[in-house]
Structures are given as structure tokens and as C-alpha cells.
């Protein structure tokens, strides 16, 4: 049997989910955990029987580490990723890859120059319903895509933005924004998964319900490269909160999805409609609407397994940097539009 690929998780808030995912993944081993906050390191190292580090440079100096998972505050991601590839480590990057296109560009150059692998975490692409919808769109069941409309009416209480690990959230410097960059990035990513790259955006953002700097409510209109139009809103102010929602339509049909439930699927053959409704029509679930830690580790586990195989087989991971960065380019452009009051074009798919 091939030797397991050794992972080190750095940043142990959401990183605790990475630990669980790595422990569950075939072909992967959790070798080490690392956090500046020792109270987060010790319990996880004991639980998984792995090495415990407080200093990132010690992770990078450990010759047994193959892959470094970066799960620190978003504004540190790219710089820590560059350090890791310089130390000869493969990378797994949590969303968002970082908070500016320029920093992600520097990471992309470092990864390309190193020949190392960089896989990205956008686990909602691997949700069975989202995968089935993507396949249906790609095989033409919707016809030409005309509209991709999405919403994320979530709620976060004041405690989420305070305490020893909360004050970076909702800041421009480390979160790169608020409800759209942090919570909404998956929704933007799925919009582009369904509708392809976004070319132009107009946005507004505001702080309405929290004592934070950046935003807790953002709305935008977008134009896709394929000609489709879309709208999105993200918020952490909605009470009662509700699940992520999509309403998409094309020349041959539409679907509407809320949380895990396909509320309407009117496209493709009668057999296809029956199959999709039977599989996804009755599910309930609101994802991480009110609790950021209430997400499933399944998507993370699949991405860890893919990363392990990518390292062993010397191939590109399932979600490479080039694909994961577009959502950040779009959010960055929406904020720029909100600040300037102008439409912003995403040049060559980049902000």
C-alpha cells in the first residue's frame, strides 16, 4: 500500500474540521497541528495523537510534513502559503484563498515556480445536489443560462465578532470584508460554478446590525461572460436566519434550491425531473445558517483524499488556485463598486 501523505493543520478554529476530515480520509495522515494559541493545540494533539506546534516555522522545518493546511485568519493565507512552498511543502488553502487578487497572484507565482501542489477548500462544489445541478447545466438541460440569482440570509450574533478569536471578523484588514467575503464566498463560487465566469459587477454594502468595520449586508448585480445576468445578497443580520438559496433559469428550464432542498426542478426530460426530485426534493437542512461550525466535514474529506492522490500521482488537485481565486476576484470587485459607486469589470476573469 502507498505511504500515507502527511498533513499539518495550521490554525485550529475551523482547522479542527480539517483534523477530522484528514483523520477520516483514505491515504492521508494527520501528522501535526499548529496554533499560536496553545489552548487550541493541546486538546487536538491529544485527541489525534499527533505532533503539537505553536510556531509555524517549526511546521515548515519538519521534514515529515508533506502538506500544510492553512486555516488561519483569511488575510494571512497567501503570505503563509508562499512561506510553505518556499519550504518545499504542498498546500491546502481554506477559503477565501486570501482577500486581495494581488496577494493571490503572488501565491500563484510561488506555487507555479515551485512545481508543488495547491488544492483549495470550496467544499460546497462537492455537495451531491450541486454536483448533479452542475452536470445537468453542462449537458444542456437548462438550455442557455440566462439568470443566476442567489441569497444568503444568515445571522451571526455579536459574540461571533468578539472574544479572543472573533475581532478579526468583519474587518477589511484580515477578513477582507464581512458577509460576502467570509460567509458568501461559497455562494459566489457556486454562482460561477453554475453560470461560468463573472465579467462585470455593481454592488452596495453597509453595516446595519453589528459593531463591525466592513459590512454585514451586501447586494450586487452581476453580468456573466456567457451573457447571463445575476443578483446576490449576503447578510449576517437576518432574523430568523434562513438557508442559502438559488433561483436559476435558462432557455429550457429552471431550478430553485434552498439549503439542501431542491424546491423546484423543471428542466430536462420527465425521467431526469423525476430522478432529481426523488434524490434532492425532500431534503431539509440550513447548512451553517446560524452556527459557523455546523458544517459537514464530508466535502473536506473528499478534498483531502483528492489532495493526497494529487501528491502521489503528481497531478493537479480537483480545485486548483486558478479556479478557486475567481470568487475572491468577484467579491473584491463588488466591494470596489460599493466604494466607488461605479460598475467594475473583472479583467480576464480577475479583479
Determine if 40 is a binding residue for ligand NAD (CB under 6 A).
Answer: yes
How far apart (Å, rounded) are the C-alpha atoms in residues 33 and 260?
Answer: 32
Q: How many CB atoms lie within 10 A of CB 344?
A: 21
Report in angstroms how near the CB of residue 162 gets to ligand NAD at its nearest.
Answer: 12
Determine if 51 is a binding residue for ligand NAD (CB under 6 A).
Answer: no
Given CA atoms 267, 269, 275, 277 in this order, what sign does their dihedral have? Answer: positive
Determine if 281 is a binding residue for ligand NAD (CB under 6 A).
Answer: no
Asked if residue 145 lies in contact with residue 196, where contact means CB atoms within 8 angstroms, the answer is: yes
Of 175 and 199, CB closest to ligand NAD: 175
What is the Cα 195 distance to its own chain's centre?
17
How far apart (Å, rounded) are the C-alpha atoms in residues 192 and 99?
Answer: 18
Determine if 37 is a binding residue for ligand NAD (CB under 6 A).
Answer: yes
Residues of this chain, 159-178, that bind ligand NAD according to CB under 6 A = 165
Q: Which of 74, 234, 301, 337 binds ligand NAD (CB under 6 A)?
A: 74
Q: Single out the segment in contact with ligand NAD by CB under 6 A; choices: 33-41, 141-149, 214-222, 259-267.
A: 33-41
Determine if 138 is a binding residue for ligand NAD (CB under 6 A).
Answer: no
Q: Which of 27, 105, 292, 320 binds ligand NAD (CB under 6 A)?
A: 292
How many residues sit in the footprint of ligand NAD (CB under 6 A)?
24
Cα separations (Å) of 308 from 66, 92, 105, 295, 317? 10, 10, 24, 22, 9
- DSSP annotation of 61: T
How far apart (Å, rounded) are the C-alpha atoms in residues 78 and 231?
Answer: 29
Determine if 324 is a binding residue for ligand NAD (CB under 6 A).
Answer: no
Of 54 and 135, CB closest to ligand NAD: 54
Q: Which of 62, 66, 73, 260 binds ligand NAD (CB under 6 A)?
A: 73
Of 55 and 139, CB closest to ligand NAD: 55
Looking up cell 488556485 gives 321
Residues of this chain, 294-313, that bind ligand NAD according to CB under 6 A = 295
36: CB partners within 8 A, 6+ apart: 54
Of 55 and 135, CB closest to ligand NAD: 55
How far apart (Å, rounded) are the C-alpha atoms in residues 82 and 98?
Answer: 12
Q: Single out the segment in contact with ligand NAD by CB under 6 A; choices: 29-37, 195-203, 224-232, 247-255.
A: 29-37
Given CA atoms 51, 54, 59, 61 in this order, what sign does their dihedral have? Answer: negative
Helices (H), 61-205: 77-86, 101-114, 128-138, 185-195
Looking up cell 465566469 gives 197
Determine if 72 is a binding residue for ligand NAD (CB under 6 A).
Answer: yes
Determine if 12 is a binding residue for ligand NAD (CB under 6 A).
Answer: yes
Determine if 126 is a binding residue for ligand NAD (CB under 6 A).
Answer: no
Report in angstroms how near the CB of residue 34 gets to ligand NAD at its nearest.
Answer: 5
Determine if 206 is a binding residue for ligand NAD (CB under 6 A).
Answer: no
Contacts to ligand NAD by CB under 6 A: 10-14, 34-37, 40, 56, 71-74, 76, 94-95, 121, 123, 165, 182, 292, 295
Amino acid at each position: 500500500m502507498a505511504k500515507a501523505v502527511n498533513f499539518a493543520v495550521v490554525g485550529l478554529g475551523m482547522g479542527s474540521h480539517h483534523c477530522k476530515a484528514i483523520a477520516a480520509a483514505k491515504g492521508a495522515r494527520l501528522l501535526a497541528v499548529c496554533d499560536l494559541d496553545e489552548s487550541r493545540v493541546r486538546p487536538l494533539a491529544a485527541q489525534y495523537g499527533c505532533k503539537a506546534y505553536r510556531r509555524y516555522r517549526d511546521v515548515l522545518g519538519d521534514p515529515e510534513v508533506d502538506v500544510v493546511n492553512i486555516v488561519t485568519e483569511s488575510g494571512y493565507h497567501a503570505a503563509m502559503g508562499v512561506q510553505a512552498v518556499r519550504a518545499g511543502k504542498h498546500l491546502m488553502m481554506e477559503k477565501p484563498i486570501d482577500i486581495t487578487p494581488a496577494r493571490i497572484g503572488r501565491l500563484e507565482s510561488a506555487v507555479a515556480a515551485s512545481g508543488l501542489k495547491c488544492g483549495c477548500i470550496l467544499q460546497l462544489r462537492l455537495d451531491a445536489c450541486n454536483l448533479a445541478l452542475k452536470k445537468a447545466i453542462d449537458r444542456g438541460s437548462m438550455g442557455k443560462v440566462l439568470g443566476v440569482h442567489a441569497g444568503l440570509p444568515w445571522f451571526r450574533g455579536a459574540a461571533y465578532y468578539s472574544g479572543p478569536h472573533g475581532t478579526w471578523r468583519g474587518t477589511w484588514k484580515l477578513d477582507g470584508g464581512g458577509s460576502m467575503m467570509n460567509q458568501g464566498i461559497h455562494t459566489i463560487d457556486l454562482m460561477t460554478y453554475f453560470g461560468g465566469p463573472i465579467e462585470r459587477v455593481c454592488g452596495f454594502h453597509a453595516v446595519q446590525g453589528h459593531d463591525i468595520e466592513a459590512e454585514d449586508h451586501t447586494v450586487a448585480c452581476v453580468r456573466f461572460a456567457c451573457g447571463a445576468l445575476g443578483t446576490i445578497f449576503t447578510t449576517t443580520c437576518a432574523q430568523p436566519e434562513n438557508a442559502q438559496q438559488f433561483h436559476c433559469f435558462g432557455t429550457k428550464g429552471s431550478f430553485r434550491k434552498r439549503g439542501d432542498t431542491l424546491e423546484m426542478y423543471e428542466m430536462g426530460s420527465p425521467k431526469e425531473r423525476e430522478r432529481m426530485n426523488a434524490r434532492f426534493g425532500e431534503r431539509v437542512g440550513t447548512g451553517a445558517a446560524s452556527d459557523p461550525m455546523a458544517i459537514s466535514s464530508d466535502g473536506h474529506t473528499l478534498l483531502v483524499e483528492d489532495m493526497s492522490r494529487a501528491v502521489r500521482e503528481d497531478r493537479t488537485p480537483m480545485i486548483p488556485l486558478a479556479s478557486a481565486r475567481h470568487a475572491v476576484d468577484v467579491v473584491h470587485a463588488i466591494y470596489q463598486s460599493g466604494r466607488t459607486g461605479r460598475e467594475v469589470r473583472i479583467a480576464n476573469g480577475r479583479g
